[in-house]
């Protein structure tokens, strides 16, 4: 079945470090892909969205790249800050139902001051 | 716009008791979703409604869990005979549900943290 895989359950970095979170997906065709961010005590919120039309998305200093060849979708940031500490979810639109989103298990990012 | 509202924010129940969680979607949004979030499983889809009608409950446990949407302004998730393994954050989300840029974006509430003792 359709799925999204995030292998990195937890990432700990220091401020100004480079962030790279890997995500792979499994489905037919080329779905719309998302990164959601969840800060402590809040619900997830959309960080950015990428389709095959543009292959890249960026928001708040984060950049995501869509790689159809390897069915992967990475999130990166050149220089993380303590305020970036949060859970990051990779997700994709369900190919059979535009309303539904399939989420990965999330990556807990902890940025040390 | 207040966003998606969920009440209560925290709920503690004893094993075997009933828990009812409430969600008020963003006004004008036609789709409402329920998710369960745990550290181990992450975000698990439970069920969703479109224009108040139940569309897909494929993620709902077959027993003890039920969801309703009696009107366009609120939805409830009810868990009967709660068990410790039901302890989780339950998230509600809504989306406009129309084609076009951002039309299917899901907006999440802050969640209800359910603790079953």
**Residue B4: is its pLDDT beyond 90?**
yes
More confident residue, B116 or A52: B116
**Among candidate residues A53, A14, A28, A38, the one with its CA nearest the CA of residue A90:** A38
Task: Locate the chain A residue with the closest alpha carbon to B96.
Answer: A99
- The answer to whether B56 contacts A100, with C-beta atoms less than 8 Å apart, is yes
| A99:B48 CB<8 A | yes
- What is the residue-averaged pLDDT of chain B? 93
Q: Which of A1, A8, A100 would you mutate first to test chain B, the one with the most B CBs within 10 A? A: A100
CA distances in angstroms from B104 to A29, A103, B94, listed in the order given: 19, 15, 9
Give yes or no for residue B32 having a pLDDT over 70: yes
A103-112, B15-24, B61-70, B95-104: which range is least confident on average? Answer: B95-104
Nearest CA in chain A to B29: A99
Residue B103 reports pLDDT greater than 90: no
A4, A102 in Cβ contact below 8 A?
yes
CA dihedral for A50, B97, B44, B2, sign (positive or negative): positive
Residue B5 CA to residue B22 CA, distance in Å, equals 8
The one-digit pLDDT tens for each residue of chain A (113 residues) are 789 999 888 999 999 999 999 999 999 888 889 999 999 999 999 999 888 767 788 899 999 988 888 898 999 999 999 999 999 999 998 888 888 899 999 999 999 99
B39 has a pLDDT exceeding 90: no
User: How far is Cα B33 from Cα B60, in angstroms, rounded to an integer?
Assistant: 12
Query: Cβ(B12)–Cβ(B73) under 8 Å?
Result: no
Which residues on A lie below 8 Å from B4 (Cβ)? 43
Task: Encode pLDDT of A32-55 as tens digits.
Answer: 899 999 999 999 999 998 887 677
Q: Could you count the other beta carbons within 10 Å of the beta carbon of residue B68? A: 15
Tell me the pairing of strands B5-7 and B10-13.
Answer: unpaired
Q: In A76-103, which positions are buried (b, 16+ CB within 10 angstroms) versus exposed (e)?
A: bbeebeeebbbbbbbbbbbeeebbbbbb
Q: Is B104 left (phi over 0), alpha (psi -120 to 50) or beta?
A: alpha
- Whether B29 shows a pLDDT value over 90: the answer reads yes
B50-91 residue pLDDT tens: 999 999 999 999 899 999 999 999 999 999 999 999 999 999
Task: Provide the pLDDT confidence category of residue B101 given band limits of 50, 70 and 90.
Answer: low
Rounded Cα–Cα distance for residues B57 and A67 (Å): 32
């Amino acid at each position: 079945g359709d799925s999204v895989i995030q292998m990195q359950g937890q990432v700990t970095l220091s401020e100004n470090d480079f962030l790279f979170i890997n995500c792979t997906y499994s489905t037919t065709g080329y779905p719309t892909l998302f990164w959601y961010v969840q800060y402590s005590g809040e619900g997830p919120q959309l960080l950015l969205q990428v389709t095959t039309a543009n292959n890249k998305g960026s928001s708040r200093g984060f950049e995501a790249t869509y790689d159809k060849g390897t069915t992967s979708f990475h999130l990166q940031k050149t220089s993380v800050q303590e305020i970036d500490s949060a859970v990051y979810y990779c997700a994709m639109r369900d190919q059979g139902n535009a309303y539904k989103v399939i989420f990965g298990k999330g990556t807990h990012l902890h940025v040390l001051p | 716009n207040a966003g998606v509202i969920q009440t209560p924010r925290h709920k503690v129940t004893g094993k075997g008791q009933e828990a009812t969680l409430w969600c008020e979607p963003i006004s004008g949004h036609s789709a409402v979703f329920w998710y369960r979030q745990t550290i181990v499983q992450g975000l698990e889809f439970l069920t969703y409604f479109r224009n108040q009608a139940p569309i897909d409950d494929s993620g709902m446990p077959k027993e003890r869990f039920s969801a309703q949407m009696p009107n366009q302004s609120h939805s409830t998730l009810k868990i009967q005979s709660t068990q410790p393994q039901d302890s989780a954050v339950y998230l509600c989300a809504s989306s406009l549900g129309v084609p076009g840029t951002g039309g299917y974006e899901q907006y999440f509430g802050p969640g209800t943290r359910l603790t079953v003792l």
